[in-house]
Amino acid sequence: MFPNAFKYEAPTSIDEAIRLMDEYGYDGKVLAGGQSLLPMMKLRIAAPAVIIDINNLDELKGWSEVNGKLRIGAVTRQSELEHATELRDQFPLLSRTARWVADPLIRNLGTVVGSLVHADPASDWGTAMIALNAMVEAKGTNGNRLIPIDEFFVDTFATSLEENELAVALHLPIPTSLVAARYMKLKRKAGDFAIAGLAVQVAVDDEGRVSEAGIGICACGPIPLRAVKAEEALIGQRLTVKTIEEVSKLVPEDADPADDLRGSTVYKKDLLRVFAARALREIAEELHGKVEVQ
Amino acid sequence: MALQQNELRPMGKSIARKEDPRFIRGKGRYVDDVILPNMLYMSILRSPYAHARIRRIDTSAALAAPGVKLVLTGEDLAKMNLAWMPTLNGDQQMVLAVGKVLFQYQEIAAVIAETRAQAEDALQLIEVDYESLPVVVDPFEALEPDAPILREDREKKSNHIWHWESGDREETENVFREATVVVKQDVRFQRVHPSPLEPCGCVADHNAATGRLTFYITSQAPHVHRTVIAMLSGIPEHQIRVISPDIGGGFGNKVGVYPGYVCAVVASLKLGVPVKWIETRTENIASTSFARDFHMTAEIAAREDGKVLALRVKTIGDHGAFDAAANPTKFPAGLFNIVTGSYDFKTAFVEVDGVYTNKAPGGVAYRCSFRVTEASYLIERTMDILAQRLKMDPAELRFLNFIRKDQFPYHSPTGWVYDSGDYEKTLKLALERIGYDELRKEQAEKRARGELMGIGISTFTEIVGAGPKNTFDILGIKMFDSAQIRVHPTGKVIARLGVRHQGQGHETTFAQIIAEELGLSADDVLIEEGDTDTAPYGLGTYASRSTPAAGTAAALCGRRIREKARKIAAHLLEVGEDDVIWDGTVFSAKGFSGKSVTMKDVAFAAYTNLPEGMEPGLEATYYYDPPNLTFPHGAYIAVVDIDKGTGAVKVRRFMAVDDCGNVINPMIVEGQIHGGLTEGFAIAFMQDIPYDANGNCLAPNWMDYLVPTSLDTPPWETDRTVTPSPHHPIGAKGVGESPNVGSPAAFVNAVVDALSPLGVEHIDMPIFPWKVWNILREHGINE
């Protein structure tokens, strides 16, 4: 309910924000949407000495196309991406994931980049970004770098960002062919974290064969995971009933869930299989008619 | 559509709730809105361990922290003889730990500071040296001979608290011995929590100059709390004013007395300024009274044709570290022996044993008339198992065994006298409204295709309105209730009652009752509850007792007013009292059409133009001692579909037909039913407070103790039959708890029905998707 006392900084430029992060080091914590940080501070699970609020930084708001990628600024709200109709054809996974994340109030303030930096293993956004092969743009005192999402998550609540590096944006590859995506999630109640979840994006070529496949796994390991074997097995295939069945069985092989109140290891693995089959079936149905997929 | 409140004869009409404008506009006044000059804030340090010896507590750093005025420990309270307090169930409970702690989140010390943040900061500076002790979380293990004794304060060196039994053991055993059909099932009603939106809290304001304690508290029973505080603190009762302001939900959570209240009073006494204490969400869930946690075994003896003969029930009640239930004193397991339910058992025997474990204390009635929810769930679940064994339709089995309409007043084998009921009619209506025969056809078709659909029935009987004074008391105080009505000269009314609403709509329904009796509109009547300085003594609002007890007091008090009004009317009409006719809105003179006076005219005359020798004024008080309880009932039907891939259950439809006697405000009744069904749904599918082997509470917040939102909740369909209570002056029975009592069995019966082709007879709540998935995969059912 009542956080420990903290100092509040509100930088007016990215450079100032990074200078403050450098100055305070471990004691500083960046505030974006605050939808994970503030509850943790209220419960005194987190007690940063300094809050560095980046919400005033206009350069971090909104999105644009940069070098063939969609660049999404770090304080872009989840709800903005959820409702951006212009992104739906090329990035269907954004709105499809958003509606599974917490509730509208949280999505109105929460940011996608903030969710990634928080690095919760049950992050729906982390899972979706795996499927989208996203990159995180980090800026520090030594300049910018792009971190592939597979190198970004290190462990539960830990990323490869340096202490004085600010995640300023997210880069999503712009698809060059037809894509379809699904987000599947089972939860105990509305707004809850996933028991297990799965993000799937598939791109198909003119012949209806899978040219790119991204499958992210939610809440089944220390970090959001990638279903590598299933992705590989999809490449070059048409989405036939047989392929879908075989591929979905591969998804749990890359998962590492734990037994907890939400369910057992075997249960969560089986959910991933069920979700993969459902997601791929729906994707096949959606693409059917647009190209020959089966 | 709700009507305006200015209609005459408002009884039975859906008029708009008078309390809503202030709640909707954010103008309610809750305990946390009470801000007094010089007020300090209290926070409580709680134990991280479930069972540990306390070697030492060092509060010196906390005392030296900024803003801190006082730190209290169990030792400080012991000097005042307040380290322990009595519970409403005849046990005693530590206020602040002395010597050892018995559950995680137990109260260790209280810090009082200028701001809440300072108090929270200082808590972190208190050093406690614990020596951990073996933890007992399982009540069956607690009863083992070599189990560690948890309660060293008791003379009895055992974790067994009490044994209670009801019915006829010998006769029941005889019937079982000769019965051709016997079904037996272990059924757990898991530990849940009332979890109101507003947690508990108080502001204690002791004025050293006047010697008066004003105590603002989230209380469902302010008068009882005043008496308890007087007994505990030694402050004379007339010097205590308990004010229970607007309450954000109670559901039984705000009946008990909690350690924080005692600490706040002590702090205010010591410091001479007001002290506020408001729980966090975790404190509310993890330390204040939980509900249920009953381990039950039921056996039914029956004939081959399905006619039930006898019921035998054995139960272990897990009360946690202290028996902090709030049952009527003679009923340690509440009214659990209502477990024969709606069925005509010839004999029954019920026994319950209370047990201590290293868990949070309690056992309160969560939207339930003292363990009737456990009883109702058990019998409705077991009846379905009997139907399954005999390959009978569960509706047919119920019709065969219902207590018939002509058997009322019905004497149950455990000693209750059911006032009235028509179970057949209620179930028939529910079956018809939901289209039962078509649903069974659909189910058969789906089964043939391998799809899993279930239909679950629960035909429960409630027992509410405690209660007759010879049977029911709390710490010796008889469970009557009261109303006081004052009619002002302009015909406007203020009425005060001994109960305290927490969302039930008393400000509207009681205004309707009184307006009906006085020929006024609900708008003319202001209802006030919760201030012990102004309201007549009453036992409070829980166990659906407000309408049966205080509602009756209000009606009879209104009639008492009318008796005097009739005399004044006779004077105004210039006729003899016997010639005055009351038609519900006016007094008129027999034979003189057109000559009439209203209650308003009479009220004015009561202060201005009285008959010779009559005492001025128009007011009355009524204390009502109910001759019996009331027995509302209902028939609920749930329809579910099961996802074979994930095990998730979707409640497709839910039909609730309630019979709560005469209805005062149908809209409010429907709202009550929606709320209770939502709670029952949550209990059936989401809610549990598990503990790990070390006694760590695994659901101490709303992230893990799941409260459903509108997105989770299925659509509710409601209807009603009306079987008035013969002994209640307005024929009403009470309804607030029926949906929580009756619905869990309907949900579970529906899920079990869906899985019954696999031979499944029972699944314990909450029915999480993984439980269903386990069953499906065990039986080779897959997507």
Between CA A81 and CA A61 the distance in angstroms is 11
Measured between CB atoms, does A2 come within 8 Å of chain B? yes
Specify the range with the lowest mean pLDDT, choosing from B420-424, B464-468, B734-738, B755-759: B464-468
B511 with B541, same domain: the answer is yes
**Domain-terminating residue out of B600, B624, B648:** B624
Express each pLDDT in B745-768 by its tens digit. 999 999 999 999 999 999 999 999
pLDDT of res. B542: 87
User: Does residue B2 lie within any of the structural domains?
Assistant: no
B328 with B366, same domain: the answer is yes
% pLDDT > 70, chain B: 100
| Chain B residue with minimum CA distance to A271 | B646
B688 with B772, same domain: the answer is yes
pLDDT of res. B80: 95
The pLDDT confidence band at residue B593, using thresholds 50, 70 and 90, is confident
Express each pLDDT in B10-65 by its tens digit. 999 999 999 999 999 999 999 999 999 999 999 999 999 999 999 999 999 999 99
The residue type of B245 is: P
CATH of the domain at B680: 3.30.365.10
Mean predicted confidence (pLDDT) in B725-735: 93
Tracing tokens 């055993």 back to the chain, one arrives at B173
The residue among B75, B66, B59, B72 whose CA lies nearest residue B109 is B72
Between CA A74 and CA A54 the distance in angstroms is 9
User: Does residue B723 lie within any of the structural domains?
Assistant: yes
The residue type of B595 is: K
Catalytic residue among B200, B368, B557, B697: B368
In sequence order, the 6+-apart residues with CB closer than 8 A to the CB of B644 are B451, B452, B776, B781, B782, B783
Select the residue from B770, B774, B775 to test the A interface by mutation, using most A Cβ atoms within 10 A: B770
The pLDDT confidence band at residue A1, using thresholds 50, 70 and 90, is low
CB B698 to CB A1 under 8 A?
no
B684 with B772, same domain: the answer is yes
B65 with B127, same domain: the answer is yes
User: Does residue B565 lie within any of the structural domains?
Assistant: yes
Q: What is the mean pLDDT of chain B?
A: 96
Phi/psi-derived region of residue B612, left when phi > 0, alpha when psi is between -120 and 50, beta in every other case: beta
The residue among B266, B210, B257 whose CA lies nearest residue B82 is B266
CB B117 to CB A270 under 8 A?
no
- In this prediction the pTM is 0.97
The pLDDT confidence band at residue A293, using thresholds 50, 70 and 90, is low
Other CB atoms within 10 A of residue B674 CB: 15
Q: What is the mean pLDDT of chain A?
A: 96
Active site residue B737: yes
Express each pLDDT in B90-118 by its tens digit. 899 999 999 999 999 999 999 999 999 99
**Domain-terminating residue out of B609, B624, B639:** B624
Mean predicted confidence (pLDDT) in B429-450: 98
pLDDT of res. B466: 79
Higher per-residue confidence, A110 vs B328: A110
- Residues B498, B674: contact at Cβ < 8 Å? no
User: Does residue B282 lie within any of the structural domains?
Assistant: yes
pLDDT of res. B543: 81
B389 with B511, same domain: the answer is no
| Residue B339, helix vs strand vs coil | coil
CB B709 to CB A190 under 8 A?
yes
CB B770 to CB A274 under 8 A?
no
Tell me: pLDDT of B468 over 90.
no
User: Does residue B180 lie within any of the structural domains?
Assistant: no
User: Does residue B546 lie within any of the structural domains?
Assistant: yes
pLDDT of res. B592: 81
Tokens of residue B113, six digits: 């500071």
pLDDT of res. B399: 98
Mean predicted confidence (pLDDT) in B497-520: 95
Active site residue B200: no
pLDDT of res. B75: 97
User: Does residue B188 lie within any of the structural domains?
Assistant: no
| Chain B residue with minimum CA distance to A248 | B783
The pLDDT confidence band at residue B219, using thresholds 50, 70 and 90, is very high
Q: Radius of gyration of chain B from Cα atoms?
A: 27
B694 with B661, same domain: the answer is yes
Other CB atoms within 10 A of residue B579 CB: 14
Between CA B268 and CA B273 the distance in angstroms is 5
B379 with B495, same domain: the answer is no
B283 with B307, same domain: the answer is no
CB A261 to CB B783 under 8 A?
no
pLDDT of res. B2: 75
Express each pLDDT in B650-697 by its tens digit. 999 999 999 999 999 999 999 999 999 999 999 999 999 999 999 999
The pLDDT confidence band at residue B470, using thresholds 50, 70 and 90, is confident
% pLDDT > 90, chain B: 92
Work out how many domains chain B is built from and give that number. Answer: 3
Active site residue B177: no
Chain B nearest C-alpha distance from A16 (Å): 30
- Residues spanned by the domain of B376: 290-466+628-779
Between CA B590 and CA B576 the distance in angstroms is 10
Tokens of residue A232, six digits: 């590989």
B359 with B428, same domain: the answer is yes
| Chain A residue with minimum CA distance to B278 | A1
Which candidate from B690, B698, B769 shows the least CB-CB separation from A186? B769
Measured between CB atoms, does A45 come within 8 Å of chain B? no
Domains and their CATH numbers in chain A: 7-53 (3.30.43.10), 61-173 (3.30.465.10), 178-288 (3.30.390.50)
Tell me: pLDDT of B526 over 60.
yes
CB B773 to CB A270 under 8 A?
yes
pLDDT of res. B596: 94
Tell me: pLDDT of A231 over 60.
yes
| Chain B residue with minimum CA distance to A268 | B770
CATH of the domain at B45: 3.90.1170.50
B34 CA to centre of own chain: 26
The pLDDT confidence band at residue B648, using thresholds 50, 70 and 90, is very high
Express each pLDDT in B119-173 by its tens digit. 999 999 999 999 999 999 999 999 999 999 999 999 999 999 999 999 999 999 9
| Chain B residue with minimum CA distance to A186 | B646
Active site residue B220: yes
pLDDT of res. A133: 98
Tell me: pLDDT of B705 over 60.
yes
Tracing tokens 């402050």 back to the chain, one arrives at B235
Cβ-based interface (< 8 Å): residues of B facing A = 116-117, 120-121, 280, 282, 645-648, 686, 690, 698-699, 703-704, 706-709, 711-712, 768-770, 773-774, 777, 783
The pLDDT confidence band at residue B472, using thresholds 50, 70 and 90, is confident
The residue type of A68 is: G
pLDDT of res. A288: 84
Helix (H) or strand (E) holding B626: none
Which class for B174: exposed (0-12), middle (13-18), buried (19 or more C-beta within 10 A)? middle
User: Does residue B14 lie within any of the structural domains?
Assistant: no
Tell me: pLDDT of B477 over 90.
no
Express each pLDDT in A15-67 by its tens digit. 999 999 999 999 999 999 999 999 999 999 999 999 999 999 999 999 999 99
Measured between CB atoms, does A260 come within 8 Å of chain B? no
pLDDT of res. A35: 97
Which class for B722: exposed (0-12), middle (13-18), buried (19 or more C-beta within 10 A)? middle
Tell me: pLDDT of B713 over 70.
yes
What per-residue string of b and e applies to B22-34 under the rule 16 or more CB within 10 Å gives b?
eeeeeebeebbeb
B598 with B693, same domain: the answer is no
The residue among B582, B633, B605, B172 whose CA lies nearest residue B420 is B633
% pLDDT > 70, chain A: 99
Select the residue from B646, B692, B765, B773 to test the A interface by mutation, using most A Cβ atoms within 10 A: B646
Which candidate from B280, B704, B770 shows the least CB-CB separation from A263? B770
- Residues B301, B345: contact at Cβ < 8 Å? no
Chain B nearest C-alpha distance from A263 (Å): 6
Q: Please say whether the dihedral angle defined by the alpha carbons of residues B465, B471, B477 and B481, taken in this order, is positive or negative.
A: positive
Q: Please say whether the dihedral angle defined by the alpha carbons of residues A219, A225, A229 and A234, taken in this order, is positive or negative.
A: positive
CB A4 to CB B708 under 8 A?
no
pLDDT of res. A227: 98
The pLDDT confidence band at residue A294, using thresholds 50, 70 and 90, is low
Tell me: pLDDT of A218 over 60.
yes
The residue type of B340 is: T
B46 with B126, same domain: the answer is yes
**Domain-terminating residue out of B624, B641, B676:** B624
Which candidate from A191, A261, A274 shows the least CB-CB separation from B646? A274
